[in-house]
Amino acid sequence: MPVAPNFTSTLSKDWTINFTQCAPNGYLKYTDLCNLLQLTAAAHSETGGISFMDMQEFDQAWVLSRMRVEITKLPKSGDIVTVKTWINSLENSRSVRALEMHLNGEKIVGSETFWAVFNTKKRRPEPLALPYEHFQLYPEKRATIEGFSKISLNHDKEIVFEKTVFLSDLDIVNHVNNVKYLEWCMDLVDENLILNQKLESFEMNFMKELSFKDTVIIHESISASDAVFSITKEEKACFALQLNWSNPK
């Protein structure tokens, strides 16, 4: 699709939180939070002419490489939230996009995301084939307090789960959807930390794609202030997640 007549370099989109997106405590699940952020990013790329369907003409797609999310509080079922997004940087095959979620005029979530252009046939990164110069960039306008950090996988960890990739784990790019990694790990967390909203921030690093029927191992390392998960295939790291707790006790 061409660039939409109403295209702007920043986008705001309202979402109504429904009961299917909520945990037993009535508040938005962290996985569905990530889905809403990414759906807003997709809506912005669509108005700007660089959506999935646009890029598929060149066998390309945006894939998420890193994501940091900082949370003040979560919306609950029935709330109407506004998600705002803009691009910090966009060059060749890489882009950093900022997102914020607001409730009743108050910012409650900030996220920084790092995306790569991925050739869906060659299964490797490459420069974006579509024009993008019409996007104004906002390198100084940050959505998070902290930027991306290196998730350390060198500390002691234990194997907590082994999993086979099922069809339901795959997305339109034919690899495991990024939110699925988060879901697999969050299912292994103490439920009281989740239900009592002790998660202050989390960061994800996607290193290698996973495909149908791959067998993976989930590792965990826990301290008083955070939990680090890693997912490996044939002893090679594919994904890392760090969950940072606020007053966990």
Final residue of a structural domain among 148, 183, 202: 148
Are both 82 and 142 inside the same structural domain?
yes
Each residue of 209-238: pLDDT tens digit?
999 999 999 999 988 889 999 999 999 999
Cα separation, 187 vs 194, in Å, equals: 10
The domain of 166 spans: 149-249
Are both 110 and 202 inside the same structural domain?
no
Each residue of 170-179: pLDDT tens digit?
999 999 999 9
Are both 4 and 68 inside the same structural domain?
yes
Are both 206 and 238 inside the same structural domain?
yes
Are both 63 and 85 inside the same structural domain?
yes
CATH code for the domain in which residue 26 is found: 3.10.129.10
Are both 139 and 153 inside the same structural domain?
no
φ/ψ of residue 33, rounded to 5: -60, -50
Tell me the mean pLDDT in the region 9-16. 97
* Residue 155 scores a pLDDT above 70: no
Each residue of 16-68: pLDDT tens digit?
999 999 999 999 999 999 999 999 999 999 999 999 999 999 999 999 999 99
Are both 131 and 22 inside the same structural domain?
yes
Are both 143 and 156 inside the same structural domain?
no
Domains identified in the chain, total number? 2
Are both 175 and 249 inside the same structural domain?
yes
Strand partners, 86: 10, 98
pTM, full prediction: 0.94
Are both 81 and 43 inside the same structural domain?
yes
Are both 153 and 79 inside the same structural domain?
no
Are both 48 and 126 inside the same structural domain?
yes
